[in-house]
Structure 1
Amino acid sequence: MPTDRRTVLADAAITVLAEAGIRGLTHRAVDRAANLPPGTTSAYFRTRQALLIALVRRLVALDQAELQATGERTPVPRTAAELAAGLAAFAERRLTGEGRRRTLARYACAIESVHHVELREILVSRRNVARQVVRDFLAAQGLTDADERTVTLLTCVDGLIFDRLVGGGGGSVSAAEIHRLVTAALH
């Protein structure tokens, strides 16, 4: 558990946002979620916008750390089936437990970023080892547009996660669905 008070508050804010939505994200709700005295959150983040920025920065840091670790422990897939299995496992992590909480918060922040450019700049896609694994696999298949196909494939997987998260398809992603996306990217 993080000991830095700002990190504790940002983590609590992610939980509040995931559970109560953007309207439920208040300084008091974060204080309660962090089990801290009333006024603590506003002492560290004076405005709601400052709280949102801290939340988004923490969310991106957690996501990047997860993607980095995943990419480092995952060899470049040798087959489309291996890539599909890896992407399906990733999608499943994003739909369950801690991953689900962060995914709900991420989508709420993405919508909010339409009106707040500073949030959009923090949320912008970043390079990471996991993305590179997908790109390297596609390049090894002889695709000359591996960078573009990587973006397309990962955007499709993200769309599938979003669809399952909001209720379409029962909340899980099958390896077969992911395999179809990978196959389409290879063609």
Structure 2
Amino acid sequence: MNVAKDWNHETLSLLPGFRDRIGLIQLTREEGGLNLTMPAERIARLTEYGRQAGIEFVRRFGDPACWPAGAAPDAMNWENHQSIRLRLMLASVAEQLASLERACSTLAHTPEDYRRFFSERYSYPFKGLGNLEADANGRYPSQAALALAQLEALRELSRLLEEHALERPGLHPADGAPKPTPELKLRPRV
């Protein structure tokens, strides 16, 4: 039951930018959990563990005006945390774009070409199928046209990343990014 309930949190706890915001408080068998008859002094000790973890999070990520007296800045601060999350997101997006480009280029000019979805009717079709030409101002006349432009822009971005990485190794967003790199996956918003 715990695996089914906690697997997502457990895997995220391994990821830089997520694991940095987890306070690990190790408890004995007599502390926490279903020990519903803990003595008051044990409950007070557990409360103090949580208070100390909270102070550490404020010192690491919070406003310096709220820090305890004499606290020094930490290299693992909010700006560093944002930088790590940005690096991971850019590396993940680049990986996803490369996958999209591989699929699109492999299927191009075949009966399975993705362009068919912008002119033929399938379930959940784009509005304005087949009306794909931008006007003189570069505005798209239909949802299908804008979606196709989006797909082409994503493919172009993928090609740009790959070309630069081939010409100058080390430029790809994944190079030097924190590990493990997350993967972008579609899943329902709940």
- TM class by shorter chain equals under 0.3
Relative contact order, CA 8 A, sep 6+: which one is greater?
1
- Structure 1 or 2, whichever has the larger Rg, is 2
Give 1 or 2: higher helix fraction. Answer: 1
**TM-score (normalizing by structure 1):** 0.27
